[in-house]
Chains A and B, each alone.
Chain A
Amino acid sequence: MAFDMTMALFRPALKYAMEKNGHGKTLGLKMTEINRGEINLVFSYKEEVVGNPLTGVVHGGVIVSLLDTACGSAAMTVLNTPAVAPTMDLRLDYMHPAEPHKPIYVEAKVYRQTSNVIFCRGLAWQEDKENPIAHCVANFMKVDSKSINFSAIAVTQLRRLMPWGQRSSSEQEGGK
């Protein structure tokens, strides 16, 4: 099982979905590693997301978004067919404020899954992974547990890739 067909198809689609759409694109996050049950991403400092104008520290909400994206994506990679795993809850502990002007690295891992729930852990750090800025646990609902269907995955991925690149914001607003 050296070559994981599902992941080979899923990896570019997930990367595209997270980096080139909506809030992921707005934040400018980059997915550096996508494996089954494990996601790494990096975020570069931006003045626009500062939470404390006195210190220039990024707002905690950014860390929430990064960890939610990473954990949610990690949860998606363990599903047998591409589907969204809705977040049930997320708990975040801030160990120390992020230093301004430095990138933030995030890692998320699925550490356990049952028939209905996917349990994830996430970590955010800057220079030293042993001294993280935040840690989180997040649980996701499993909405799809069908057996692997490669052609369905391929078709779904192609369908997903095509309209996303072209969809305009005005079109989305119509969807309410």
Chain B
Amino acid sequence: MSAEQENHPLEDWQASVAAARLEKCPQSVIEMIPYASFIGAQAKIENDRLLYWLEKRPTNIGNPSLPALHGGVIGGFLELTAAVEIIYNLDIAAVPKVVDFSLDYLRAGRYKTVYAKCNVLRQGKKLINVTASAWQDDENTPIATARCHFLI
């Protein structure tokens, strides 16, 4: 979209983010990141919080005999949601840079939709700490939790 056009990519990016916030449409922020459509990640606002989900796709399978979702896709999805949470909610100039990422796999990701929510635990001048949690049937039985540091 406009963010990828030449001349003033950063200004275009910021304008697109501002427009998305104004329209309360996190989906258009997530669509600006090509990796999101590669795995099929989507976002919406529910009860004033961002809710992300990853629709089931054969291309996200890791173990075809179960079938189970690829652990890397769940990790990538959570890292993506953490970044989108920052881009959409916090007033920062550019795309945040991930410094480290820690992931706990709690249950196998079955071949169905995965949901995720994030929490920004701390926003410093340079560093942001975000946690993300992914679940399938019930928010209280997460399949994976992640913790992420971003530099801004």
> B interface vs A, CB < 8 Å?
3-4, 9-10, 13, 32-35, 37-39, 56, 58-67, 70-73, 75-77, 79-80, 83, 94-95, 97-105, 108, 110-112
Q: Does chain B have a CB within 8 A of A21?
A: yes
Q: Given the complex, which residues of A lie within 8 Å of B104, measured CB to CB?
A: 88-89
Is there a chain B Cβ closer than 8 Å to A86's Cβ? yes
Q: Indicate whether A12 reaches chain B with its CB closer than 8 angstroms.
A: no
B residues less than 8 Å from A129 (CB atoms): none
Point out the residue from B13, B32, B58, B103 that lies within 8 Å of A64, measured CB to CB. Answer: B103
Residue contact B34 to A60, C-beta cutoff 8 Å: no
Which residues of B lie under 8 Å from residue A86 when comparing CB positions?
A: 105, 108
Closest A residue to B101 by beta carbon equals A92
The reply on A151 being an interface residue by CB < 8 A is no
A61-B58 contact, Cβ under 8 Å, with A54-B3, A92-B100: no
A160:B65 contact, CB within 8 angstroms: yes
Interface centre among A64, A92, A97 (most CB of B within 10 A): A64
B13 touches A53 (CB 8 A): yes
Say which residue of B9, B63, B71, B100 sits within 8 Å of A68 (CB atoms).
B71
Q: Does A131 contact B (CB under 8 A)?
A: no
- Chain A interface residues (CB < 8 Å from chain B): 17, 21-26, 47-55, 58-62, 64-69, 72, 84, 86-94, 97, 160, 164, 167, 169, 172-173, 175-176
Chain B residue contacts of A25, Cβ below 8 A:
59
Q: Which of A23, A66, A72 touches B59 (beta carbons < 8 Å)?
A: A23
In contact, B75 and A68 (Cβ under 8 angstroms): yes
Q: Is the CB of A59 within 8 A of B105?
A: no
Contact A23 B61 (CB under 8 A): yes
A59–B3 touching, CB < 8 Å: no
Q: B64 to A22, Cβ gap below 8 A?
A: yes
Residue numbers in A under 8 Å from B77 (CB-CB): 61
Question: Among the listed A60, A65, A172, which residue makes an inter-chain contact with B67, where contact means beta carbons less than 8 Å apart?
Answer: A172
B42 → A minimal CB distance (Å)? 15
CA distance A48 to B41 in the complex (A): 13
Contact A93 B71 (CB under 8 A): no
Q: Give min CB distance, A161 to chain B, whole Å.
A: 12
25 A-B contact pairs sorted by A residue (CB < 8 Å): A22-B58, A22-B70, A23-B61, A23-B62, A23-B72, A26-B38, A26-B60, A51-B33, A51-B95, A53-B4, A54-B10, A61-B72, A61-B76, A65-B72, A65-B76, A68-B72, A84-B63, A88-B104, A90-B105, A92-B101, A92-B102, A94-B98, A167-B64, A172-B58, A172-B64
Determine whether the beta carbon of B61 is less than 8 Å from that of A22: yes
| Chain A residues with CB below 8 A from B38, complex form | 26, 48-49
B148 — nearest CB in chain A belongs to which residue?
A: A60
